[in-house]
Amino acid sequence: MNDIVPPPATLRVNLDSNALAANWRHLDSMSAPGRAGAAVKADCYGLGVDRCVPVLRKAGARDFFVAHWSEVADVARHVPAASISVLHGPISAAEAEYARAIGARPIINSLHQARVWAAAGGGPCDVMVDSGINRLGLSMEDLSDPLVAELEINTLMSHLASADEQSPDNHRQLVQFRRARSMVKADRYSLANSAGIAIGQDYVFDLTRPGLALYGGVPRPELTAQIRQVAYPQAALLLRRDLKPGDKVGYNGTYTADHVMPSGIVSIGYADGFLRSRGGEALAHDGRVLPLIGKVSMDMVVVDLTNAPDLQEGDWLDIPFDLPGAAQRCGLSQYELLTGIGHRLR
């Protein structure tokens, strides 16, 4: 059975590789005199490591960040393992041994992880310091521990908690990170994510770690004009149905037709990341707006085809994915919209 080729899918995400490369180059220029890396965790925020990492590498990215050790091998198919940093660090001897075997750099987040890394034989690593987000990272007090001085640190980094806002916490974290830099010798220093790059030159240091903005997200208004949409999801029309007055649509009959109208059942649902919170949106075809009617189902939505009565089964409809606008309309974050893309679209 494995040699039988399945028919084409009825879901897809078209990737604008030129936009992805342009987004990285713009963020890299904003990171000067340092340079931009690329956060490629969560399968490049849902858009696919195999499609995105080669584009980012060709654009000029040389530093790549994942969260889990299970993500390293997929990225390492496209870039040297030594260019990959793993945010969660080595919590066990098995993870430390894997890092040394494959050549990826662990990010040390605690004295425990420093001990695990040293016990495995050590080598180049990165270090995260907590400057105020209280997630991963050594405390400021931990930086004085002799274990830290013994580490072979490539990059000392921290992470901003409120870079997408005009928050005084940003400056407080900057002050803390400058203090950490004075305490820890490293080859490079890194603080800014996508939003942090846009705050200003004080935050870029030697290396920035953009993620969301690479893939079309706009975390701060300063980036609105420069960041281009990268992902364009589409779903096929599965079936046409003419509704009569009084016909109810979908689960719980939340929509009732009050006139004769053409409708279409479309191959996308909440199992594909198109959650019910997006039920107030509309799909489109060649610029024609097709409002959703009824509830979003697991594998389907229903649209009003009044504006496009010529559409037939198999025609492709556009799913709205301008991330700032879609997030504002449905209440999900831009991160959730991206990383929530279902495997059937990929």
C-beta contacts of 246-251 below 8 A and 24+ residues apart: 248/294, 249/293, 249/294, 249/302, 250/293, 250/294, 250/295, 250/297, 250/302, 251/294, 251/295, 251/297
Task: Answer for the pair 143, 184: CB distance below 8 angstroms, yes or no.
Answer: yes
User: Is 255 one of the catalytic residues?
Assistant: no
Catalytic one of 232, 244, 251, 295: 251
Whole-angstrom distance, CA of residue 273 vs CA of residue 298: 9
Q: Per the structure block, which two tokens stand in for 343?
A: 């495997």
Task: Answer for the pair 249, 302: CB distance below 8 angstroms, yes or no.
Answer: yes
Which amino acid belongs to residue 248? K
Catalytic one of 41, 45, 295, 335: 41
All residues at 6 or more sequence positions from 22 whose CB lies less than 8 Å from its CB, including other chains: 228
User: Is 41 one of the catalytic residues?
Assistant: yes
Catalytic residues: 41, 251
